[in-house]
Amino acid sequence: MRVAIATVQVPFVRGGAEILAEDLRDALVARGHRAEIVAVPGKWYPLDSLMSYVLTCRLIDLVDAFGGPIDVLIGMKFPTYMIPHPNKVLWIIHQYRQAYELWNHQFGLINAPGGGEVRNAIEQADRQAMGESRKIFTISRNVTSRLEEYLGAESTPLYPPPRNAARFYCGEPEGYLLFPSRITLMKRHELLLEALAKTHHPVRVRCVGQGDTPEYAEEMRQRASELGVAERVEWLGWLSDSDILREYAHTLGVIFPPRDEDYGYVTLEAMLASKPVITCSDSGGPLEFVVDRETGRVAEPDADALAAAMDELWEHPEQARRWGDEGRRRYEALGIGWDYIVDHLLS
Amino acid sequence: MRRLNWFSPLPPARSGISDYLWHVLPALTERAELTLWTHQDDWDPALESYGKVRKTHASGNFWRQMNEAEMSIYHVGNNPLFHGEIWELSTHHPGVIVLHDVALQHLFIEVFIQYHGNVAGYVGAMERFYGRRGRRAARRLVDHECTPEDLCAHFPLTPLATERALGVLIHNRDGFDALSSHGRWPVASCGLPFAPALRALRPAARPDDGVKRLIVFGHLGRNRRLEPLLEALAALEHRERFHLDVYGEVWNADYVRQLRDSLGLERQVELHGFVPDAELDTALSRADLAVNLRFPTVGETSLSQLRIWQHALPTLVTNAGWYSELTRDAVVRIRMEHEAEDLRHWLTRLLNDPELFVRIGERGRRLLEEMHSPERYARVTMELVERAIEFQRRATAFHLAGKIASQLAPWEGCESVTAAKRRSAEAILSLFGEHSE
Amino acid sequence: MRVLIATAQIPFFRRHTDDLAVDLRRALEVAGHRAEILRVPFSWNAPGGLVNQLLTCRLIDLSPDEHFRSDLVIALELPAYLIRHPNKVLWLTHHHWTGEPAMARRNGDAEQDAARREACGAVDREALAKARRIWTISATASYQLRRLCDLDALSICPPPRRPESYCWERPEGYFWIPDRLGADRWQLLLAAVAHCEQPVRIRLGSPHHEPRPDAELWSMVERWDLEEQIEWVGGLSEAQARDAYARSLAVVCPARDETFPWPAFRAMLSSKALVTCYDSGAPAEIVDHEENGLLVAARPGELAAALDALWKHPDRARAMGGSGRSWIESQSFEWPRVLESLLS
């Protein structure tokens, strides 16, 4: 089959969505299909550009390509799933969140001039795109329930496996907790630092990942100093794949407390490395996998609760190991894999 | 109750629109919750009994607060001091536009050229709405070859204010038909509200001394026709039986005084300057005839006319703009092309047939009560707000269609452009058209 | 600098322009810039029509603002140069407004072509005028631009890809056709082979995973009974393609108006003689007749005579190939110099 994968291209920004599209393309090719990523360039600001971007996608002709028709169009991201196609399947990473569950948040459209009008328009366009698609999948139950809540659209989660899934391994804990996330507001590094200031044990944390902006990363460093925990936090920045695998292998446990994450590879990566995960009760995606006191801790999103969870892992490494093993067992049972995904997308 | 953002000059700002607030707010705030936004540093504290008064951009939360309301209402008139910022906000956060002037050349010339030094922006806007003719006219203005007044009739530039509007409210019928013919935004028209109860009026106590008292008041620019009025008075046979009181700032008081003296009207014409409202009301209640001429006119409804009617005063008006729409028996109309002749005729008639003028004054007062009731105004406004909220769902479609049209404009003239237009229209409607069109 | 490289994307079809975009990005990165390739989906036969696709490009606004930095757009082809940006430089790889010349024109109906030309003329006048500077990749591309848009542009030759990886191997008795051919040149080639006195053999292939020439074109091989002589070797990896050059007797480029010089460069880097036609464009710009190849009229008889001559005298082919190699070694292709011009 000839499959086009539609996603966005915001120049000089690369993240999980781009990687997922490439993984999907490779998975399709590995199964004998021909697949190509169509990344429509555009930008999100100002809102006027955003609405033009939506229309741009709608005007793209992707029915026919060189040498014959395109059999399936897989739309992954707003607004590229507006591209018309008679056989459109959505595998949604997330909607334009600022118009939905983040409307009222500090990134939300509520803070933009004309935000209400744009929110209405986006909702209308989304309804249309969902309605004309043959099937709708999402990357997580969290995204599925948001679609249900805001658009009344039914969808099925298809969990994408983390990259390098086969290469994760478990080694001896070396006295630190791992926090692998981009340094950005939604990942809540500040909450972690505040919690760290409240732990009873000398808990140490390694943060892997770069700041979305150097300014924000610097702000977090300063915050760590203010809270008197600078000595107990290491900022490792960007790491190579093998270094990341090593950090996972030797951590006591993984901390992942984002605010309403769509999905979160981090949880699955921790499970692959047989490590317990500490997350928060409002973290979204991770809650689909972390079972409190069986594969990690689900804490309230406040510094005290998070501190208590970290202390608990620190104090009981044997229990942490058991929870980690249980996480790995559950990952195996989930049957997450590309065969499953490709079969469903193309069925 | 709907929550509304309200943008207008606030009392005590010296603007007719700010005065109008006292007439509209009591009835409107019974139907909606208002936030009054302003960039003024001070405002009459009495306003705060009608809603929160907030400064625009004073807080980082400005847009959030704006979005929390369901609709924004922007009052747009020609005074750039007040309306420049209001118009600019309305382009970023569309809402209902209340047009206080039919032509907005003055506003846009000031905003583009004086405030932002953006000559290209002004010329571009004139070209966008009026094509090459507009462009040429704009260049003439920039080169001082014509005045803003010269452009008002053919290039009012009002569409620039309503371009992104979600609804338009106007105060005269004439504009209503023109705007409705676009079939784009919801449009409503309603006479300016006037709440007579706001001013306790003494019963008219007109001294019966055989002298007819004429009155002119307001911000008296040259377009208020003081010169022809004085000339007409001077030419009357019984000039001694008239007395003219002029209240308010005159564009060039020395010159007017000089003209009066040279016409020998020292005893008949008195220039009072700016006086408190109460004093003006007393003068109005004693007057026999108001003169409310305007030419050239930008066609606006005049709050001062409503005030005249409140006193059941007959009025001489210029037969143009809003005034030309008034029922014949509620005012006396002066034809511009026969101004001197008409003035002489009607002033003489005042001496001969005072009963006719009393009837005209009373009819005016009735019109005020019927057409300008604040209740009616508030009802029309809220109905328009509802329609604007409804229209907002389709506004993006119109906006994008406009964008497509301007993108395709330079390629116009080839057949395939028509096909592309059709295709874009389909794309826009399929996403944003609510499937109703 | 942050540079955006704008090209079209024809899904499932990889072109020289796509390779050039990758090379350009790498060169920019080596020079310390950040670069990213933008690909705008495009189809010559889109049901929505051509103007619709131009409009689509036009709606893409990548002007810098407070949230987004981009200093320059280098656009390589239509309609990607319609993307909105205040600082655009064009380095055009082709300017075929009337259709991907070889492919789409096959079914071209004259009326549609005329409508396209008309629309595109208007678009060009407006869009090209907004570019800060216009370059092309070859004299042939410049000529197209002058003919279609009445614009003069200098050319900057794109350096060959990985020149060091090409080499000479002992010929294995075939002529190598490295590029796709349009229907007219396909016919020319078949007619020439049919004309040949020698039992010449031809190999065709194309890079990456492309399907073989479509059934209609291929059926001509059978009808003309040339299956013994013409062989489709399928989609090739880059290494396989290099090998096909290396083991050929000579390389034949009979396409019309080819703007890319790369296939000709590859023939020379592989020390192979190059047979091409007067109207072939970039290869014809390079071939020195009888010196490093043969330049012939695009007629079956003449092409056949050239093929016969080299088939009969492989030593002549060998000598021409050597001379081609010396020529290309005397040229200096350097990305830093290309960037100097593009970024100036």
How far is it, in rounded angstroms, from Cα C270 to Cα C163? 9
Tell me the pLDDT of chain C averaged across its residues.
88
Q: Is residue B132 over pLDDT 80?
A: yes
Residues in chain C, total: 344
Tell me the pLDDT of chain B averaged across its residues.
88
Question: B87: which residues sit within 8 A by CB, 6+ positions away?
Answer: B74, B76, B107, B111, B161
Give the pLDDT of residue A143.
94
Q: What angle do CA C152, C156, C160 make, to 5 degrees?
A: 145
Contact assessment for residue B294 and residue B223, using Cβ atoms and an 8 Å cutoff: yes
Q: Which of C56, C67, C103 sits opposite A56 (nearest CB)?
A: C56
pLDDT tens-digit readout, B138-185: 999 999 999 988 898 899 999 999 999 999 999 877 677 777 777 788
Contact assessment for residue C244 and residue C203, using Cβ atoms and an 8 Å cutoff: yes
The backbone torsions φ and ψ at residue C296, rounded to the nearest 5 degrees and listed phi first, read -130, 165
Question: What is the pLDDT averaged over residues B4-8?
Answer: 96
When pLDDT is cut at 50, 70 and 90, the band that residue B415 belongs to is: low
Q: Kindly identify which residue of chain A lies nearest to residue C9, measuring between CA atoms.
A: A38
Contact assessment for residue B216 and residue B291, using Cβ atoms and an 8 Å cutoff: yes
Give the pLDDT of residue C132.
92
- Report the share of chain B in percent with pLDDT over 70: 94
Contact assessment for residue C26 and residue A45, using Cβ atoms and an 8 Å cutoff: no
Query: What is the least distance, in Å, from the CA of A49 to any CA of chain B?
Result: 11
Name the token pair of A91: 């595998």
Report which residue type is found at A19: I
Question: B217: which residues sit within 8 A by CB, 6+ positions away?
Answer: B246, B247, B248, B280, B283, B284, B290, B304
pLDDT tens-digit readout, A264-303: 899 999 999 999 999 999 999 999 999 999 999 999 999 9
Q: Do A59 and B424 touch (CB under 8 A)?
A: yes
Q: Which of C52, C62, C211 sits opposite A59 (nearest CB)?
A: C52
Lowest mean pLDDT segment, chosen from A16-25, B205-214, B318-327, B409-418: B409-418
Q: Which of A110, A128, A129 sits opposite B67 (nearest CB)?
A: A110
In terms of pLDDT, which residue wins out, C218 or B253?
A: B253
Question: B378: which residues sit within 8 A by CB, 6+ positions away?
Answer: B24, B27, B28, B30, B31, B193
Contact assessment for residue C149 and residue C222, using Cβ atoms and an 8 Å cutoff: no
Q: Is residue B52 over pLDDT 90?
A: yes
Give the pLDDT of residue C105.
42
Q: Do C59 and B407 touch (CB under 8 A)?
A: yes
**Contacts A81 to B, Cβ<8 Å:** none
Name the token pair of A285: 């995606």
CA dihedral A271, A274, A279, A283 (to 10 degrees): -10
Q: Is ipTM beyond 0.90? A: no
List, edge to edge, every strand of the sheet that includes C273-277: C230-236, C202-207, C175-177, C250-253, C273-277, C293-296
Q: What angle do CA A128, A130, A131 make, to 5 degrees?
A: 65
Question: What is the pLDDT averaged over residues A317-323?
Answer: 97
> Among all chains, which residue has been given the structure tokens 């309230």?
A300
Give the CA distances from residue A92 to residues A122, A132, A146, A186, C85, in Å, rounded to whole numbers and listed in that order. 15, 14, 11, 20, 30
How far is it, in rounded angstroms, from Cα C218 to Cα C171? 26
When pLDDT is cut at 50, 70 and 90, the band that residue C117 belongs to is: low
Q: Is residue B215 over pLDDT 70?
A: yes
Q: Do A52 and B431 touch (CB under 8 A)?
A: no
Give A273's Cβ-side CA count (13 Å radius). 28
**DSSP string covering C77-125:** STTGGGSB-SSEEEEES---TTSSTTTGGGG--HHHHHHHHHHHHHHHH
The helix or strand, by DSSP H or E, that contains position A297, with its residue range, turns out to be strand A296-299
Please tell me whether residue A235 adopts helix, strand or coil conformation. Answer: strand
**Contacts C51 to B, Cβ<8 Å:** 408, 411, 414, 416-417, 419-420
Q: Does B434 touch chain A (CB under 8 A)?
A: yes
Q: Kindly identify which residue of chain B lies nearest to residue A121, measuring between CA atoms.
A: B432
Q: Which of B63, B92, B396 sits opposite A51 (nearest CB)?
A: B396
Question: B338: which residues sit within 8 A by CB, 6+ positions away?
Answer: none
How far is it, in rounded angstroms, from Cα B61 to Cα B52? 15
Q: Does C60 touch chain B (CB under 8 A)?
A: no
Q: Do A51 and B424 touch (CB under 8 A)?
A: no
Give the pLDDT of residue C104.
40
Q: Is residue B200 over pLDDT 50?
A: no
Question: What is the pLDDT averaged over residues B400-407?
Answer: 87
Inter-chain Cβ pairs, chain A and chain B, closer than 8 A: 65
Cβ atoms within 10 Å of A343's Cβ, excluding its own: 12
pLDDT tens-digit readout, B26-44: 999 999 999 999 999 999 9
pLDDT tens-digit readout, C238-248: 899 999 999 99
Q: Does C119 touch chain B (CB under 8 A)?
A: yes
The backbone torsions φ and ψ at residue B208, rounded to the nearest 5 degrees and listed phi first, read -95, 75
Interface chains of chain C (3 or more CB pairs under 8 Å)? A, B
Q: What angle do CA A184, A189, A190 make, to 5 degrees?
A: 110
Name the token pair of B350: 């005042």
Give the pLDDT of residue B437.
38
List, edge to edge, every strand of the sheet that includes B212-217: B269-273, B242-247, B212-217, B289-292, B315-318, B332-334
pLDDT tens-digit readout, A86-123: 999 999 999 999 999 999 988 899 999 999 999 999 99
Query: What is the least distance, in Å, from the CA of A266 to any CA of chain B?
Result: 33
Give the pLDDT of residue B281.
87
Give the pLDDT of residue C107.
44
pLDDT tens-digit readout, A23-38: 999 999 999 999 999 9
When pLDDT is cut at 50, 70 and 90, the band that residue C103 belongs to is: very low
Closest CA to B362 of B339, B331, B391, B390: B331
When pLDDT is cut at 50, 70 and 90, the band that residue A212 belongs to is: confident
Give B403's Cβ-side CA count (13 Å radius). 22
Q: What angle do CA C27, C31, C33 make, to 5 degrees?
A: 95
Contact assessment for residue A167 and residue A282, using Cβ atoms and an 8 Å cutoff: no
Give the pLDDT of residue C112.
59
How far is it, in rounded angstroms, from Cα C178 to Cα C248? 11
> Among all chains, which residue has been given the structure tokens 């920045």?
A237
Burial-class residue B2 by CB neighbours within 10 Å (0-12, 13-18, 19+). Answer: middle
Q: Residue B242 pairs with which residues in a beta bridge?
A: B212
**Contacts A59 to B, Cβ<8 Å:** 423-424, 427
Closest CA to A43 of C66, B200, B152, C283: C66
Q: Is residue C101 over pLDDT 50?
A: no
Q: Do B419 and C52 touch (CB under 8 A)?
A: yes
How far is it, in rounded angstroms, from Cα A144 to Cα A93? 10
Question: What is the pLDDT averaged over residues A53-69?
Answer: 87
Give the pLDDT of residue C99.
44
Question: What is the pLDDT averaged over residues B53-63?
Answer: 85
Lowest mean pLDDT segment, chosen from A203-212, A238-247, C225-234: C225-234
Q: Do B416 and C51 touch (CB under 8 A)?
A: yes
Q: Which segments of chain C does DSSP mark as H helices, in order?
A: 16-30, 50-59, 110-130, 139-149, 183-195, 215-223, 238-246, 262-269, 282-286, 300-312, 314-330, 335-343
Name the token pair of B421: 């237009």
How far is it, in rounded angstroms, from Cα C33 to Cα A233? 33
How far is it, in rounded angstroms, from Cα A288 to Cα A272? 15
Question: What is the pLDDT averaged over residues C131-146?
Answer: 92
> Among all chains, which residue has been given the structure tokens 């900057």?
C156
**Contacts A49 to C, Cβ<8 Å:** 61
Name the token pair of C124: 């060009």
pLDDT tens-digit readout, C53-98: 888 998 999 999 888 889 999 999 988 999 999 999 999 998 765 4
Query: Best of A53, A110, A119, A133 to disrupt the B interface by mutation (most B CBs within 10 Å)?
Result: A110
